[in-house]
Amino acid sequence: MKKPSMKSLIVLAFAASAVNAQSADLLQVYRDAMGFDAQYAAARAQLDAGREKLPQGRAGLLPTLGLTASTTWNNLESTARSAGATTRTADYNSNGWSVALSQPLFRWQNWVGYKQAELAVASAETQFAQAGQDLILRVSQAYFDVLLAQETLATTQAQKIAIAQQLESAKRNFEVGTATITDTHEAQARFDLADAQQIAAENDLAVKQQTLLTLTGKEAEALKGLRPKVQIKPPQPDNIGQWVESAETGNLGVQLAQTNLEISRREIEKQRAGHYPTLDIVATHGNSGVGYSSTTGTGVDSKTSAIGLQLAVPLFAGGAVSSRDREAVALNEKARADLDNARRVAALSARQSYFGVNAGLAQVRALEAGVASSQLAVESNKLGYEVGVRINIDVLNAQSQLFDTRQKLAKARLDTLISQLRLKAATGSLSEDDLMALNALLD
């Protein structure tokens, strides 16, 4: 009977570990996460809250209108200061209402506050975009972690099958006297080790699947993997300087820091406006009624209307305005330093990701050659063992090297793809389109 090849063993191991379910791809998992992930839901709610800053800032420029009303029950008792004077009493009700309108004409701090509100909305939009990019990275990393765990388990299972075959061969050769018991013991030790490695791989896969479950809320029993011999393209443009330059301007963290710097600059202007006068249009209209008047002895109803300008000039506030001004200046310097730091972090992230992609591509090419060489080494050692020029440990070592190289190749490919996404995120250009392009590489 013809023995199955090493490639056939790996295919059989994958089939043994797969479940009878339709495989999900990366894009589907991402869209599931968009509707389930708690961090992304919190970011969406934060965006809704941030957008409310604009109507709040606009309110400082619009008129305010208020209505007040009151009713009071009164008991009046009066006695004249003269001999034989009598005491007079009166029980009556007084009531009234008034409407007051105020329209700011000059309140510079309110206008600055409105401009700050516009910037606050832009900041909220940037933060939500950051959350979207973070979701893409988290989902992709969790997805690839599951793929790598599946590859590790399948490789371990295939290695266990191959060792089992070598163990049976060693036992047969010992029985016929062409090999020593040492070959059997070595193969048995490798088989026991592979059994332990399989248990660890199964546990690791379960953990990785649970991590993906927390993002999507769905069991990830079967996922589409990378196509065999998939070709990963180098970053375009293939120039690290252009990537760094893009990161220093387009990175969302940099954009957020720039917005915060502008808000802090406006805050200085807002606090200094505390020294400026304010001018408002004020108008009132009211109606009041009193059930008793000491002059007429009867009730009195009256209406009043007024309109005018109200000027307020601040003179001294205990130094609070000047203190808040100095505080705003210090916070502006902090925001400026935060912007410098954000640019440096973005540039560093772009460099690291760019190097990660190029190093990953080189490692993939080297490991692909290593897999081919290791495959030949296994076949040569098996043939040498059959003719007696190689011992059992040589075959086992060659097999271990082959499976280890296969696993490293799978990890190198996935790490390179993640580095590509991180490179896009460093420049602020990561989007669902990049995820769709990556999804096209899946089988």
- Could you tell me the pLDDT band of residue 6, with boundaries at 50, 70 and 90? very low
**Tens digits of per-residue pLDDT, 61-80?**
999 999 999 999 888 777 77
Given a cut of 80, whether residue 406 has pLDDT beyond it is yes
Average pLDDT of the chain is 89
Asked whether the beta carbons of 22 and 168 are under 8 A apart, the reply is no
Rounded CA gap, 287 and 398, in Å?
101
Given a cut of 70, whether residue 84 has pLDDT beyond it is no
Residue 239: predicted pLDDT: 94
Q: Quick one: how far is CA 116 from the chain centroid?
A: 25
Residue 293: predicted pLDDT: 64
Cα angle for residues 14, 16, 18 (degrees, 5° grid): 65
Asked whether the beta carbons of 157 and 198 are under 8 A apart, the reply is yes
**pLDDT > 90 in the chain, percent:** 67
Summarize the confidence of residues 363-384 as an average pLDDT: 92
Summarize the confidence of residues 243-269 as an average pLDDT: 96
Sign of CA dihedral 364, 365, 368, 373: negative
Residue 15: predicted pLDDT: 46
- Could you tell me the pLDDT band of residue 247, with boundaries at 50, 70 and 90? very high
Sign of CA dihedral 331, 336, 342, 345: negative
**Tens digits of per-residue pLDDT, 162-195?**
888 888 877 887 887 766 788 788 888 888 988 9
The dihedrals phi and psi of 83, each to the nearest 5 degrees, come to -65, 135
Residue 22: predicted pLDDT: 61
**pLDDT > 70 in the chain, percent:** 92
Residue 80: predicted pLDDT: 72
* Euclidean distance between the first and the last CA atom of the chain, given in angstroms as a whole number: 32
Q: What is the 3-state secondary structure (H, E, C) of the chain?
A: CCCCCHHHHHHHHHHHHCCCCCCECHHHHHHHHHHHCHHHHHHHHHHHHHHCHHHHHHHCCCCEEEEEEEEEEEEEEEECCCCCCCEEEEEEEEEEEEEEEEEEEECHHHHHHHHHHHHHHHHHHHHHHHHHHHHHHHHHHHHHHHHHHHHHHHHHHHHHHHHHHHHHHHHHHHHHCCCCHHHHHHHHHHHHHHHHHHHHHHHHHHHHHHHHHHHHCCCCCCECCECCCCCCCCCCCCCHHHHHHHHHHHCHHHHHHHHHHHHHHHHHHHHHHHHCCEEEEEEEEEEEEECCCCCCCCCEEEEEEEEEEEEECCCCCCCHHHHHHHHHHHHHHHHHHHHHHHHHHHHHHHHHHHHHHHHHHHHHHHHHHHHHHHHHHHHHHHHHHHHCCCCHHHHHHHHHHHHHHHHHHHHHHHHHHHHHHHHHHHCCCCCHHHHHHHHCCEC
Q: Which amino acid is at 267?
A: E
- Could you tell me the pLDDT band of residue 13, with boundaries at 50, 70 and 90? very low
Residue 370: predicted pLDDT: 94
Cα angle for residues 399, 418, 147 (degrees, 5° grid): 45
**Tens digits of per-residue pLDDT, 22-58?**
678 999 999 999 999 999 999 999 999 999 999 999 9
- Give me the residue spans of the domains in the chain: 6-60+108-148+213-276+319-439, 63-79+87-106+277-313
Residue 384: predicted pLDDT: 87
- Could you tell me the pLDDT band of residue 221, with boundaries at 50, 70 and 90? low
Which pTM was predicted?
Answer: 0.85
CATH architecture for the domain at 6-60+108-148+213-276+319-439: Up-down Bundle (1.20)
**Tens digits of per-residue pLDDT, 93-151?**
889 999 999 999 999 999 999 999 999 999 999 999 999 999 999 999 999 999 999 99
**Tens digits of per-residue pLDDT, 280-329?**
999 999 999 887 666 556 778 899 999 999 999 999 989 999 999 999 99
Summarize the confidence of residues 427-435 as an average pLDDT: 94
Given a cut of 70, whether residue 333 has pLDDT beyond it is yes
Rounded CA gap, 225 and 421, in Å?
17
